[in-house]
Structures are given as C-alpha cells and as structure tokens.
Amino acid sequence: MKMNNSMLFQIALRNVARHHRRTAITAIVLMVGIGVFIMFQSLLAGMDRVTIDTAIDYDNGSIRVRSKDYEAHATSQPLEYGIQNAGGIMAGLGALLPAGSTWTPRTRFYAQVSNWRDETPALAFVIQPDTDQAVFKTAEEVVGGGWGGATKAVIGADLARDLRVGEGDSIVVTAVLPNGSLNAIELEVGGIADLPLSSLSQQAIYMTAQDAETLVGAPLPVTEIDIRIPPASRLDGLVAQADAAASRIEEGHGDLAAVSIGEAMRDYLAMRNMKSKFAYIIIVIVLLISSVGIFNTILMSMYSRIREIGVLAAYGLEPAQIKRLFSLEGVCIGVIGSLGGVLLGAVFVWWLVGHGISFGGMFGGLDLGNLPKDLFIRGEWNPATFIQGFIFGVLVSWLASLMPARKASSIEVTEALRFV
C-alpha cells in the first residue's frame, strides 16, 4: 500500500494528539529550554550594548584619533606627542564620517591631586565644554556647580569622596611637564561628576584649556580627537560602522592612529563570544534532556501501537514509510515545543526590552571594570536567536525519534499481528 507524505503526516498528528499527556510534557521541557536560551542571549546582548555604550558615552567615543607616536606610548599619556594641525584635521572629518557624527578635541595626562593633606593619582582631561557635550555625556552627570568654568575643576564622585572635598573646596593639581619638571596649580572644585565607570569616578578630573596651560604650559597640545558616530539599532552594526570610519581616517592621514570602539574593546568583545558559547552549552544540555523525553515518548508510542503497525504492514505499508511515520511524530513534537519556546522567548525579550533588570545593588561598591556601576540591562531583539532556537528544537526532536522509528520499521508482520 502506497501512502503519500500528506497522509503520513495526518496520521502522525493524530498519534501525537492521542498521546497528548506525554506530548505535552516533552514539548513543555523543550519550550522552556528554548525560551530560556532566547532570553539569555537577549540579556547577554543587552549587557554588551550597555557596556559599549557606556564606554562611548564617557571615555572612548565611537572612534579615538591620536598620533601614532602617542598611541605607541599611550600607557604613559605623554604630552609631547600631540596631534599636529588638529584644527585642520577636524575641519576635514565631515567627509570621512557618517552624516550626523560629532567630534571634540581632548588632552589627557596623568596628574596628582591633593586636598592639602592627602594626595592621590588622577587622570586629567582638558576639554572644550561646548563640543565635548556633543560627544560625551559627562556633563550630564555633574552634580552641583558648573561645567567648564575657568579656575574650576570637575572631579569624579569617588575621587571627591577619597579626598573628602566638595563643591567650592580647593584642590592642588600637580603634573610632570614634558621637560621633566613639576608644576602645580590650585583649582576650585566646581562640580562633582557621578560617573558610571569606576575607573573615571575614582580618577578623573576635568579642566579647561586655560587652566591646563597654566599647569603644563602653552601652547597646549591636543592628544586626541574623540568622535561619536550616529547610533545603530544593533551593536554589530555600530562596531562595523566605527571600524569602517576609522579605516577611512587612517587612509586619509598616514600619521594618525584611529582606534574604533571595536578595537578599543577588543578584549571585552572576545569575552562576549565566550559568553555566547556558554549560552549554546546551556541549550545543548536542555535539548539533550528533551531528547530523552522525545525518545521515550516515541518508544512508548511504538510499543503501545504494535498491533497498528502490524495491520499497516499487512496492508502493504513499507518499512521506510513506517519509519517516516514515527520520525514525523518526533518532528511534530519538536515543532510544537519549538514554537512554544519561540513564543515564550519573545515574551521574555519583550519584557527585558521594555522593563530591563537592575543589577546595581548586587555588586555594592565593587569595580566592575567596563561595566557601569549602576548596571541596568535591557534586552535586545535578535531574530537569528529565535531561528536558531527553533531549528535546534526541531532537529534534536527528529534525531531523538530516529532510533524508535527504525525499531518500529523492523518489526515483523507476523510478530506484530500476534497482539491483534
């Protein structure tokens, strides 16, 4: 008896519905596993996004341009390797960057900050207040006081706490000049910035070019040009745009090193790939557990239907068709569980995107490195994750059904009919 795939599929659906309890239990395990996988991947993508965005907003920008000599000695933040003709370079950036990009010059160098009693290392940033606010969000975090006032400095909240100073107090900033000598100036604390990055909150001091020239001498070199490109909906797209723009800048200016956010955060992004692999390990474990359930469901179904198998074989149903019938049952369970997992994952991601999860109180005052202190993560939609979860579920279900299906197809008609 020849039976087309449509008829086999209808019989498979009927059998799956007939054993609805076993089907429901197996599908639910599969659904939960796929839903958790999708949620976990969304959460990891959100963590990556908030980490990269925080670095862009407060420290690196999307692209950081320096002289190649400065980049080679960047760990010491040297003042003697500034960008030559920084103004001319900034005037030509518009042709090399995506529309809507902004940029600002900065000078950074190591310093010592004292409250007249205690002294601590600091990282000084010389800013142009107006253009700096178009690239960085530092000014938005200033509590009290102003941003960019002459003879006034803005310092990180943790640094202010360490020095026990507040708005209106005096501090002394000491720096090593390019010729090796020391100089110091007295500044008023004009504002305190509660910065999300612990490294900046503990060390950063922001001052005007006028005050910096009083400290280290004039003309003050520009050690970097920081660039913000327009945001992208996906992190991978943002990194790709920054990489491409950085390459164009280096091609147009052979003496400059343009470091994109992807390059600056290379180590973190490498860890991101490791975290993603960990998520795949989780779903593999869950799917293996589900496969046991599917195997058991199909096997029990086979033993309870030996008489049916014998009758179908007696009417001429070929072993290959019997095998296909039981494989289709496994695929049907996989499709049901996988669709449920995709829907459950969509609910999880919808909630994460709309509400997010705050982890700020979980870590106390620990330095989270690249992660912001008040860590708040929103999920991200990733269609590829939904497709992967669905395919994994159906594939595992099909593989789990192969052995019972093969056993069912090998049953002899005479043996099966004994149960009639």
Task: Answer whether 109's CB lies under 8 Å from 79's CB.
Answer: yes
The amino acid occupying position 65 is: V
| 55's tokens | 């670095």
The amino acid occupying position 33 is: G
| Buried-exposed string 180-190: b where 16+ CB fall within 10 A, e elsewhere | eeeeebebbbb
Q: Which are the contacts of 418, defined by CB distance < 8 A and separation ≥ 6?
A: none
| 217's tokens | 């001498």
- The model carries a pTM of 0.76
The pLDDT score that the predictor gives to residue 246 is 92
How many contiguous H segments (helices) and E segments (strands) does the chain have? 15, 12
Whether a cis peptide bond, with omega within 30° of 0, leads into 319 is: no
The pLDDT score that the predictor gives to residue 19 is 66
Phi/psi at 22 (5° precision): -65, -40
Q: Taking the CB of residue 284, how many other CB atoms lie within 10 A of it? A: 14
Task: Answer whether 268's CB lies under 8 Å from 374's CB.
Answer: no
| Buried-exposed string 318-356: b where 16+ CB fall within 10 A, e elsewhere | eeebbbbbbbbbbbbbbbbbbbbbbebbbebbeebeeee
- Measured CA to CA, the distance from residue 153 to residue 170 in angstroms comes to 10
DSSP assignment, residue 229?
A: P
Coil/strand/helix, residue 175? strand
Coil/strand/helix, residue 310? helix
Task: Answer whether 31's CB lies under 8 Å from 110's CB.
Answer: no
The pLDDT score that the predictor gives to residue 65 is 94
Q: What is the pLDDT along the chain (420 residues), one digit of tens a residue?
A: 555 667 767 777 777 777 677 778 778 878 888 888 888 888 888 888 888 888 899 988 999 999 998 888 877 878 888 898 899 999 999 999 999 999 999 999 999 999 988 899 999 999 998 899 999 999 888 887 667 677 789 999 999 999 999 888 999 999 888 777 888 999 999 899 988 888 888 999 999 989 999 898 878 899 999 999 998 877 788 888 999 999 999 998 888 999 998 888 877 766 666 666 666 676 677 667 766 766 776 666 666 666 666 666 666 667 777 777 777 877 888 888 889 999 999 999 999 988 888 776 555 555 555 667 777 788 888 888 899 889 888 888 787 777 776 776 676 655 655 544
- DSSP symbols for 100-148: T-EEEEEEEEEEEEE-SS-EEEEEEEEE-HHHHHHH--GGGGEESS-SS
- Measured CA to CA, the distance from residue 156 to residue 2 in angstroms comes to 79
- Measured CA to CA, the distance from residue 181 to residue 78 in angstroms comes to 14
Q: Minimal CA–CA distance to 10: which of 403, 404, 324? A: 324
The pLDDT score that the predictor gives to residue 281 is 74
Crossing angle, helix 319-354 and helix 20-58, to 10 degrees? Answer: 40
- Measured CA to CA, the distance from residue 116 to residue 180 in angstroms comes to 23
- Measured CA to CA, the distance from residue 26 to residue 22 in angstroms comes to 6
Task: Answer whether 205's CB lies under 8 Å from 121's CB.
Answer: no
Burial (CB count <10 Å: 0-12, 13-18, 19+), residue 277: exposed
Q: Which are the contacts of 319, defined by CB distance < 8 A and separation ≥ 6?
A: 313, 409, 410
| Angle 99-100-106 from CA coordinates, rounded to 5° | 115
Q: Taking the CB of residue 296, how many other CB atoms lie within 10 A of it? A: 15
For 96, 179, 202, 416, the CA distances from 303, given in Å and listed in that order, are 70, 89, 69, 10
